[in-house]
């Protein structure tokens, strides 16, 4: 029962991420930072894509994705259309990866130590969902502040 719920939430929030990026009036503002706002919407988007492709795609789904976390925060000026395409690809990866996971496997220990201590797969997937929602809220606020 949890897998379809999580798949739905990840898909919903990644589509909201696309919507936020599409709402920027000026595409260049996706990469804007000011004062104490250290991360642009573009870099947060890359961070979310990297995070989900590693922890769900590669670790659970067995994709060959290799994450370069520093680039998620240092790359700049990637076209909006490319970001949207990467989000769409991430939605597919999540659907396939979680679709191959059984409900019984959710109680297993998540294979990587990411947080301070080992967790179950279900706990870590819920964590990833809240992490996505947290940064999605930051992107929404970023857009409303810096794309006036």
Mean pLDDT computed over every residue of the chain: 97
Q: Where are the alpha helices (DSSP H) in the chain?
A: 2-23, 41-52, 69-74, 80-99, 121-146
Four-way CATH pick for 2-146: 3.40.50.2300, 3.40.50.360, 1.20.120.450, 3.40.50.300: 1.20.120.450
Please tell me the predicted confidence (pLDDT) of residue 22. Answer: 98
Q: Choose among 22, 52, 60, 34: nearest CA to 130.
A: 52
Please tell me the predicted confidence (pLDDT) of residue 70. Answer: 97
Phi, psi at 34, each rounded to 5°: -150, 145
pLDDT tens-digit readout, 60-100: 999 999 999 999 999 999 999 999 999 999 999 999 999 99
- CA contacts within 13 A on the Cβ side of 96: 13
The encoded tokens of residue 70 equal 């520093």
Cα distance between residue 14 and residue 49, in whole Å: 9
Enumerate the domain spans of the chain.
2-146
Please tell me the predicted confidence (pLDDT) of residue 7. Answer: 98
Q: Is the pLDDT of residue 148 over 90?
A: no
């Amino acid at each position: 029962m949890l897998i379809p719920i999580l798949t739905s939430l990840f898909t919903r929030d990644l589509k909201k991420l696309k919507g936020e990026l599409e709402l920027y009036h000026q595409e260049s503002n996706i990469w804007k930072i000011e004062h104490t706002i250290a991360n642009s919407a573009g870099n947060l988007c890359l961070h979310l894509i990297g995070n989900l492709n590693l922890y769900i795609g590669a670790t659970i789904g067995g994709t060959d994705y290799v994450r370069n976390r520093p680039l998620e925060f240092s790359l700049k000026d990637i076209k909006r259309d490319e970001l949207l395409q990467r989000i769409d690809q991430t939605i597919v990866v999540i659907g396939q990866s979680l679709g191959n996971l059984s409900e019984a496997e959710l109680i297993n220990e998540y294979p990587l130590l990411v947080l301070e201590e080992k967790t179950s797969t279900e706990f870590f997937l819920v964590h990833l969902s809240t992490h996505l929602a947290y940064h999605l809220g930051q992107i929404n606020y970023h857009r409303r502040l810096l794309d006036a």
